[in-house]
Homo-oligomer: A and B are copies of this chain.
Amino acid sequence: MDADAAMLVIGNEILSGKVEEANVAVLARALRGVGIVLQRVVVVMDDVDTIAAEITELSGAHEFLFTSGGVGPTHDDVTIEAAAKAFGLRIVSSPTMEAMLRAHYGERLTDGHLRMALVPEGAALEASAEITWPTIRVGNTWLLPGIPEVFRAKLPVVLARLSEQLGARGGARAFVSHAVYTRMDEGNLKPLLDRVVAAFADVSVGSYPKWLDPAYKTKLTFDGRDEARVLAARDAFVALLPPGEPQKVD
């Protein structure tokens, strides 16, 4: 069975449009690389009860859950508290993280800095030789930071652990993706696509119109875990196209 995941994006700044969300696509691509399908994303405000309810729901319904945002030390950072609530855990200060903060800040250390050592009791602290500041994991739920640069910096630790877990049960195959570009519009492509979709149930076929691009009008994508089948679906589609098409095949 496919491993599946959900993502919970936390932050008033996303829902007010002050900040463009930038972690969903990065996580989605990284997960596909280890054979995990991102099935659902939910974006909520910085509210403890809302986040806790969502963590309970998503961590129960999916094999993995990744949260993004709300792990800093200020009043609007409530993800740790919400995760503790969702899993019925106390919040404790991690001696490991506290020692790292003391070493980093020295005499400048404040109570505010020390809040960054708070974790749900019993949480796993995932780190590596290169990425030493721990990422907090509670069961199947990973608590990642919202700042895009830090989110990206932490992904290698997450992916290494996921690969281990999936490898231990026989592994998951990564997805392959191919594409065809055409100047035909979706209305004309529909009957051709319907034939390919009917013949290749194991290949996911997507159709994406491009707005005002002189090079092509529609991009068709062919995705699956079996590259031979994906290529066969793509080529079956190309064979249905009229003369002069396609514009490009990937």
Contact = CB atoms under 8 A, between A and B. Distances in A.
A76 B207 contact: yes
Given A32-B17, A112-B191, A12 B72 contact: no
Contacts of A191: 110-112
A174 B52 CA distance: 29
Interface residues of A, number: 68
A197 B102 CA distance: 27
A144 B73 CA distance: 38
Contacts of A166: none
Contacts of A221: 13, 18
This chain's copy number in the assembly? 2
Interface string A1-27: 000000001001111111111001111
Interface stretch (A133-141, A208-216, A225-233): A208-216
Nearest to A31: B17
Contact of A110 (B41, B177, B187, B207): B187
